């Protein structure tokens, strides 16, 4: 094989470095998490209710869900490089808008435009599939997605510290600086890797009914959506609970925000080590049960009057552990229903998870108020996790029915 060519015929000179791919993915995770400790203070600054300001999370996620469906086919048609460069450029303009917004309405508008940065999650994986053989892609994607578990540990801590020192706008300045650095890095290092072709959007949409008729697909997709929904509800409500219920400073909220990321990293490790031996469905079920039991226990303690950071954030650490076990296996299950539609299943399932999370995050923000404590948020999180248990049991029942010839 010529050193000038990749195994798939992509010129080696155009291969981006692993650092570039990690940076593209990390920029999206960073912008999603860094400002979370500032949400209550931002609501006060703009003179609006927390439920409205919390749309900076839920509306952002809603736009991201749509973009997950669109950006892959768009990059197939127009190329990976222009999609990434234009996304980063639009994000920078939107970031300036958030800094100069005269009202909460204008801020939220520009915040939704900022969701374009989440295209990096999809494009970075697409680039990996372009440049390496299939047997190496999983390993390389693993390195790239490490940013998804590491950045949420660091970003809220940094955001809380910046808020206390300079105010909430400092977090958005940090987003812009990082995006500018990533844009320069991509300009010089990210060559075009797409070879054309791909699956047109209309063809991809035409395959949705095939998956929609599969009980197993819906079971796996709902298990992932509902379990991840607990985490997204947490993102929407935890800043309020941290400040108004637990009376933590923005910096302290940032430190505690590392809890689910630590749990998720451990869950991913267990998933990698145990899924083959234990089985995909059992891993999904175990993860869903861990989430449900931990959050139900925290809800019980909260109703008994035990309002402590360790109770609330400790339960969320176990939720992260459960999600780390559940999500990789549920995603693999979705793609195994019809292997020839793996890409469509992944995109549709991912969009469902983010859209469902957006709805639950908005619901959490709507029900939280000073006199309620953390109970409304924990009810939503525990109920969503419990529903994920039912979803995977639905899959297991269907597979037993198939084995009996039904």
Segment 280-317, tens digit of pLDDT: 889 899 999 999 999 999 999 988 888 889 999 999 99
Mean pLDDT across 259-280: 82
Q: Which residues contact 321 (CB under 8 A, 6 or more apart)?
A: 263, 264, 266, 267, 270, 287, 290
pLDDT at residue 177 tops 90: yes
Q: Give the separation between CA 64 and CA 338, rounded to whole angstroms.
A: 25
Question: According to the model, what pLDDT value does residue 178 have?
Answer: 95
CB-based contact 261:278 (threshold 8 Å) = no
- Report the candidate in 46, 37, 23 with the shortest Cα–Cα distance to residue 120: 23
Provide the residue ranges of all domains of the chain, joining segments of one domain with +.
12-189, 200-406
What CATH class has 200-406? mainly alpha
Q: List C-alpha distances in Å: 375 to 259, 303, 304.
A: 19, 7, 10
In this structure, is the dihedral angle defined by the CA atoms of residues 139, 19, 60 and 298, taken in order, positive or negative? positive
Can you name the residues that pair with 5 across neighbouring β-strands? 11
Can you name the residues that pair with 119 across neighbouring β-strands? none
Q: Give the separation between CA 252 and CA 238, rounded to whole angstroms.
A: 12
* Residue that wins the pLDDT comparison between 18 and 47: 47
Helix (H, G, I), strand (E, B) or coil at 35: coil
DSSP state of 116: G
Question: According to the model, what pLDDT value does residue 340 have?
Answer: 58
* pLDDT band at residue 212 using 50, 70 and 90 as cut-offs: confident
Beta strands in 5-55 (DSSP E): none
Q: How many CA atoms lie within 13 A of 166 on its CB side?
A: 11
Place of tokens 């950045």: 151
Q: Give the separation between CA 344 and CA 383, rounded to whole angstroms.
A: 28
Question: According to the model, what pLDDT value does residue 393 have?
Answer: 95
- Phi and psi of 133, rounded to 5°? -65, 160
* Residue that wins the pLDDT comparison between 364 and 234: 234
Question: According to the model, what pLDDT value does residue 18 have?
Answer: 80
pLDDT at residue 112 tops 70: yes
* pLDDT band at residue 271 using 50, 70 and 90 as cut-offs: confident
Of 61-65, 145-149, 372-376, 392-396, which has the strongest mean pLDDT?
Answer: 392-396
12-189 shares its CATH topology with 200-406: yes
Can you name the residues that pair with 11 across neighbouring β-strands? 5
Q: Give the separation between CA 217 and CA 338, rounded to whole angstroms.
A: 9
- Phi and psi of 206, rounded to 5°? -65, -20
User: Under CATH, what is the fold of the domain 12-189?
Assistant: Growth Hormone; Chain: A; (1.20.1250)
The rounded mean pLDDT for the chain is 83
Segment 7-34, tens digit of pLDDT: 444 444 467 888 888 888 889 889 988 9
CB-based contact 260:316 (threshold 8 Å) = yes
In this structure, is the dihedral angle defined by the CA atoms of residues 195, 201, 203 and 207, taken in order, positive or negative? positive
Mean pLDDT across 199-222: 77
Mean pLDDT across 227-243: 87
């Amino acid at each position: 094989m010529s050193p000038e060519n990749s195994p798939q015929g992509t010129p080696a000179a155009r291969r981006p470095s692993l650092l570039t791919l990690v940076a593209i993915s990390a920029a999206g995770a960073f912008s999603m998490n860094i400002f979370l400790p500032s949400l209550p203070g931002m609501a006060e600054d703009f003179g609006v209710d927390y439920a409205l300001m919390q749309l900076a999370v839920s509306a952002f996620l809603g736009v991201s869900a749509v973009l997950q469906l669109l950006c892959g086919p768009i990059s197939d048609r127009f190329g990976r490089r222009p999609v990434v460069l234009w996304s980063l450029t639009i994000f920078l303009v939107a970031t300036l808008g958030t800094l100069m917004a005269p009202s909460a309405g204008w801020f939220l508008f520009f915040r939704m435009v900022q969701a374009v940065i989440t295209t990096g999650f999809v494009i970075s994986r697409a680039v990996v599939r372009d440049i390496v053989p299939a047997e190496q892609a999983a390993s390389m994607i693993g390195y790239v997605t490490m940013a998804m578990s590491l950045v949420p540990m660091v970003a809220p801590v940094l955001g809380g510290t910046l808020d206390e020192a300079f105010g909430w706008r400092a977090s958005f300045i940090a987003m812009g600086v990082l995006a500018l650095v990533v844009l320069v890095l991509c300009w010089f290092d990210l060559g075009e890797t797409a070879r054309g072709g791909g699956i047109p959007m209309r063809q991809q949409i035409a395959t949705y009914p095939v998956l929609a008729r599969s009980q197993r697909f819906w079971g796996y997709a709902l298990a992932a959506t509902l379990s991840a929904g607990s985490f997204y509800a947490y993102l929407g409500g935890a800043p309020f609970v941290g400040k108004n219920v637990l009376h933590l400073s923005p910096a302290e909220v940032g430190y505690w925000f590392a809890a689910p990321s630590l749990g998720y990293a451990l869950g991913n490790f267990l998933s990698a080590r145990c899924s083959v031996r234990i089985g995909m469905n059992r891993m999904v079920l175990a993860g869903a049960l861990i989430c449900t039991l931990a959050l139900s226990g925290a809800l019980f303690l909260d109703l008994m009057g035990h309002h402590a950071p360790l109770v609330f954030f400790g339960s969320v650490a176990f939720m992260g552990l459960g999600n780390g076990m559940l999500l990789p296996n549920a995603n693999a299950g979705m793609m195994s229903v019809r292997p020839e539609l793996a890409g469509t299943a992944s995109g549709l399932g991912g969009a469902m998870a983010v859209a469902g999370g957006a709805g639950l995050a908005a619901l959490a923000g709507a029900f939280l108020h000073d006199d309620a404590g953390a109970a409304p948020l924990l009810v939503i999180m525990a109920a969503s996790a419990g529903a994920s248990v039912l979803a995977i049991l639905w899959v297991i029942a269907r597979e037993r029915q198939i084995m009996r010839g039904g």
